[in-house]
Amino acid sequence: MTRTLIGIGLAAAMIAAAASLPRAQQPAQGRTFTPEEMAAYRAALPDAPARDLVIRVCGQCHEPNRAASLRLTRDGWEGVVQKMKGLGASALATDAELAQITDYLSENFKGEAPRPINMNTASAIDIEAVAGLLRKEAAAWIAYRGKTPCKTLDDLKKVEGVPFKKIDERRDRLVCF
């Protein structure tokens, strides 16, 4: 019994000591890769700073070269890295390392910014997805635009049943012409 209590106390002290280390000094957790796996991942990813960091952190949950299939803007990659941080990547990397990963992905797997949709011709599904309107709000706009198309996004302030705040928040992805 005494041995058990001493063991528990020792384990608690070790955990407390590890938690008190600055984040950058804490050892990375997770699996280690064989030299063959590292070589394969390195061959699949562009040679640039943070490549091995991407392999070490991202490879804990999926093949690191999975990013090669995506092409996102910097904002898109920042969103992906934040999502991964919430799913546990923060236990494997510091915030500074996650920023390096974002830099690596946004530089090596660039995508185009989404093109804006024309509120006068967009389908209900596009209006719902891009403008963030509910189905009934999109339907209200479509019924209104049949009689009076918009010339500017501010014209949508007049449309009953369409919350202009949603339109204004997504102004960079919407146009009227």
pLDDT in tens, 138-149: 999 999 999 999
For the chain, count helices (H), then strands (E).
Answer: 8, 2
Domain total in the chain: 2
Q: Is residue 1 part of a domain?
A: no
Same domain, 88 and 144: no
Q: Which SS3 state, helix, strand or coil, does residue 22 take? A: coil
**Rounded CA gap, 171 and 66, in Å?**
32
Confidence at 164, pLDDT banded by 50, 70, 90: very high
Cβ-contact 29, 20 below 8 angstroms: no
Note the pLDDT of residue 29. 59
37 and 101 both lie in a single domain: yes
67 lies in the same domain as 122: no
For residue 70, the model assigns a pLDDT of 78
Domain contains 13 = no
- The pTM for the full model equals 0.52
Rounded Cα–Cα distance for residues 40 and 113 (Å): 31
20 within a domain of the structure (yes/no) = no
Which domain, by its residues, includes 91?
30-108
